[in-house]
Structure 1
Amino acid sequence: MSSASINVSPRKSRIATAVFFFVSGFGFSSWASRIPTIQQNLHLSEGRLGAVLFALPAGLMCTLPVTGYLLRRVSSRYTMFTGAVIFNLMLCLVGFTTETWQLVVVLFFFGCSRNLFNISANAQSIGVQAMYDRSIITTFHGIWSIAGFAAAAIGSLLVSFSIPPSWHFLSVCIILTSLCVFFFKDTVHQQPQPHERLQKTKFRMPDKALLKLGFICFAAMACEGTMYDWSAIYLKKAVHASKEMATTGYAIYMVAITLGRLTGDKLAGSIGVKNMLKYSGLLILTGLLLAAVFPYTITTAVGFMMTGFGLSCVVPMVFSMAGKIKHMSGGPAIAGVSTIGYFGFLIVPPAVGFIAEAFNLRWSIALIALFGALITWLVSEMKD
């Protein structure tokens, strides 16, 4: 019996892990739903906003070696809980920023905490998956998306009532932190393997078995980051939708990604993981091109919906495949793939702002669509 399963109820551990995924999704989507408001309050152009948004993935990348180090030495449950609490606190502070430099600093630490939180939560999900005979991995990400959709809907409602981000984020922080404290006791007692604790402390890039998964993850995370940061702004600036419709467009994307993740395990079992990843790339390519070529409310909403379905299962499947690498346990393997994948969050969303400043947002979205083609090509090159 593994250390992950000692004195742990599979059902309670599954619920607890799902709650932490909910916290992650709700907190991050709460931030994303208010980006247009924050941009307006701080009088940021697309170019300056792109530079500001760079701080979040920069913090995320800077913390990757720390997360890998921790997951090789202590239970992922402690890293997850610590990251979650700091994550909620940083979200709260975002709402109280009044200067651009303040937002940059807070977003940097928001990214740091998000990395600690998300990678350790994915390690927890692999520990729970080991307790079940059937696939349940994408349902955790489905919970993340349900939370994201709920947060986007609430954000849209609060925008319509002109509730400031400060009160919005403070309330979210209190509720989410309370959930973390209550459900922590049921998380998986997942310990690193003994030989991993004795390895050198230097963080290592993933080996050849993980590189291709990392590049697929990079492309998917580049598209996800772009949708989180720019979808509402695209609807507002390029499509000229109302501010309520701009937030609703983001919610449409979240509905699609949620439905895709809730049905992903069953669909992957029917057509195979490789075929599903190929089709996912094609959906991303088609959806983003549709939004870029036809910048109207209906076509953009349909394009965002297709993109959501395409992106829904790529990262969960890649993390699940990484967690099955025989010579590494789940946490370090995911951290290795994330080292490559999170460069998508680091580089691409800020670049969208710079491209939009030089050309326009339609060009930016059209270029991002090419990552969908890259996913399909990389999957086609994978050995069965």
Structure 2
Amino acid sequence: MLFTVSTPVSRKAHRVAVGALFFLQGLCFSSWGSRIPSIQQQLHLSEAQLGAVLFSLPVGLMLSLPFTGWLTSKIGSRKVVTIALIIYSSTLVTIGLCQNILQLVVALFFFGFASNMANISVNTQAVGVESLYKKSIMASFHGLWSLAGFVGAAIGTFMIGAEVIPLHHFLIMTAVVFIGVAIAYQYAFPQDAKVSANQPIFVKPDKALMGLGLIAFCSLICEGAMFDWSGVYFQKVVQAEKAWVAAGYTAFMSTMAFTRFIADWLTSRLGLKRVLQLSGILTAVGLTISVVFPHMVTAIIGFLLVGAGVSAVVPLVYGVAGKTKTMAPSMALAAVSTIGFAGFLVGPPLIGLLAGISSLRLSFAVIALMGISVALLSSRIKSEEA
């Protein structure tokens, strides 16, 4: 049974606990991601069938956005993140038990639903802890999520090598998450700002939140493109040898994770607006280098810059959104996430469409414009937000 400590909790303990929750969330996602090929083989799915099945995950995520913001504002992020991570990790086991496509579609829908519940509530927790420090620390939390991605991928690689079936792998990870949540709950941030029992489920974001959502939208178009198309770009445009096809993705992920751990430090010295502008410029420059000079070394350098560019945008935007005075932090985060995540969904198919019309290089050049858009939109952030 979960219980709370009776003695006052230090802000450092809150920070460690919320960081652990971010890590556990990332571990759930990366555990699933590392075993997608195994699940595909286990259910004998073609690439087309797998693509259709995977679409149920973002559907669940998008449908949960307004509900999660409302629920978090009603009962508090501490309870919601606990419930969400328990469901999130348990759904991993359900995925491992799936015997047909229909079961997998349903399981992934709830996996996506719980994923966003965890995302909104844990970011609301981070906003609360950040208020104790009175400086930007949001990016470091997202850095822990990225670190969990590497750890989860490494564990998945080991499990595959040891011929451990997905169900047993997921059972182990679920046990880890359960134990981690039980410990972290005691030290999680206890009370969100402006929790309202009468908060409506749907709230129209104000102009400031719309602007933040658009910044996230443009950045997540780039991020989604890199997640889904970096390997294809290295294979077909860079014409990398088979062993080096994943080099671009690895470069992108490495700098994205590393830069998140220094983004808060940079923000405290340069200011939010300048860091966001620099992020957009780095993204645009990195993609442009990869398009103009599609060779192994230059493309890797370009992807390194893109990783550094997109790394801080969403964490910093979330941090600003959570401080809004117009609605509960969870509702503001849900509003910005709804706009931003649309970019994550639009990016990959947009690249495919443009590549079909012209070429993959042209599509990456168009995506580079999204980096410029981040820089331009960031310049409109008001001084009190920056």
TM-score (norm 2): 0.84
CA contact (8 A) 1:216 1:341 kept: yes
- Aligned match for 1:43, one of 43, 46, 57: 46
Deviations 1:238-264 (A, max 9, x none): 556577645564333222112111111
Unpaired runs of 5+ residues, structure 2, are: 1-5
Is contact 1:192–1:329 with CA below 8 Å preserved after alignment? yes
SS in 2 for 1:186: coil
How far apart are the structure 2 equivalents of 1:88 and 1:76?
18
Residue type at the aligned position of 1:190: Q
Q: Residues 24 and 74 from structure 1, CA distance in 2 versus in 1: closer, same or farther, beyond 3 angstroms?
A: same
Partner of 1:198: 198
Over the matched positions of the two proteins, sequence identity in percent amounts to 42
- Equivalent residues of 1:25, 1:144 under 8 A apart: yes
Cα distance between partner residues in 1 of 2:192 and 2:184: 19
Query: 1:140 is matched by which residue type in structure 2?
Result: F
Equivalence for 1:278: 277
Between 1:119-128 and 1:107-116, the stretch displaced more is 107-116
Distance 1:228 1:318 in 2: 20
Deviations 1:163-207 (A, max 9, x none): 66555444333322321223222211114536x3234x2411211
The one-letter code sitting in structure 2 at the alignment partner of 1:261 is: R
Deviations 1:102-141 (A, max 9, x none): 4433332221111100110010011111222443222111
CA contact (8 A) 1:33 1:247 kept: no
Tell me which residue corresponds to 1:141: 142
Query: How far apart, in 1, do the equivalents of 2:320 and 2:140 lie?
Result: 15
User: Corresponding residue for 2:256?
Assistant: 257
3-state DSSP of counterpart to 1:325? coil
Aligned partner of 2:177 in structure 1 is 176
* Aligned 8 A contact 1:149 1:251 in 2: no
- For residues 228 and 178 of structure 1, the distance between their equivalents in structure 2, rounded to whole angstroms, comes to 30
Over 3 Å counting, the alpha-carbon distance change for 1:339 and 1:159 in structure 2 is: same
For residues 298 and 107 of structure 1, do their structure 2 counterparts lie closer, same or farther at Cα, with a shift above 3 Å needed? farther
Asked if the contact 1:26–1:147 (Cα under 8 Å) also holds between the matched residues in 2, the reply is yes
| CA RMSD of superposed structures (Å) | 3.1
Task: Name the amino acid aligned to 2:251.
Answer: I
CA distance in 2, matches of 1:37, 1:339: 31
Contact preservation (8 Å) 2:125, 2:192: no
Once residues 318 and 368 of structure 1 are traced to their aligned partners in structure 2, the CA distance between those partners, rounded to angstroms, is 20
Distance in 2 (CA, whole Å) between partners of 1:283 and 1:307 is 6
Answer with 62-71 or 250-259: which moved more.
Answer: 250-259
CA contact (8 A) 1:65 1:203 kept: yes
User: CA 1:27–1:350 in structure 2 vs 1: closer, same or farther (change >3 Å)?
Assistant: farther
What CA distance in whole angstroms lies between the structure 1 residues aligned with 2:97 and 2:296?
A: 32
Paired residue for 1:77? 78
Distance 1:182 1:240, change over 3 A: farther
* Unpaired segments ≥5 residues, structure 1: none
Aligned-partner residue type, residue 178 of structure 2: T
TM alignment of 1:303-322, pairs within 5 A: 303-322=302-321
Residue type at the aligned position of 1:377: L
In the alignment, the residues of structure 2 paired with residue 164 and residue 264 of structure 1 have an alpha-carbon distance, to the nearest angstrom, of 38
1:129 alignment partner in structure 2: 130
Deviating more after overlay: 220-229 vs 137-146 = 220-229
Residue 116 in 1 paired to residue 117 in 2?
A: yes
Is 2:375 the counterpart of 1:376?
yes
**1:57 and 1:342 in contact (8 A); partners too:** no
Report if the CA contact (8 A) 2:67-2:201 is conserved: no
Give the whole-Å Cα distance in 2 for the aligned partners of 1:93 and 1:43: 21
**In 2: Cα distance, 1:167 partner to 1:239 partner:** 38
Q: Does 1:57 align with 2:54?
A: no
Between stretches 311-320 and 359-368, larger displacement belongs to: 359-368
| 2:132 maps to amino acid | M
Matches within 5 A, 1:215-364: 215-232=214-231, 234-235=233-234, 239=238, 245-247=244-246, 249-353=248-352, 361-364=360-363
TM-score w.r.t. the length of structure 1 is 0.85
User: 1:364 Cα shift?
Assistant: 4.4
CA contact (8 A) 1:205 1:339 kept: no
Output the CA distance in 1 between the equivalents of 2:86 and 2:342: 24
In the alignment, which residue of structure 2 is the partner of 1:67?
68
- Tell me if structure 1 keeps the 8 A contact 2:135–2:268: no
Shift of 1:297: 4.1
Note if contact 2:283-2:305 (Cα within 8 Å) is conserved in structure 1: yes
Quote the residue 2:19 is aligned against: 18
Identify if the C-alpha distance between structure 1 residues 281 and 198 changes in structure 2 by more than 3 Å, giving closer, same or farther. Answer: same
Distance 1:202 1:27 in 2: 27
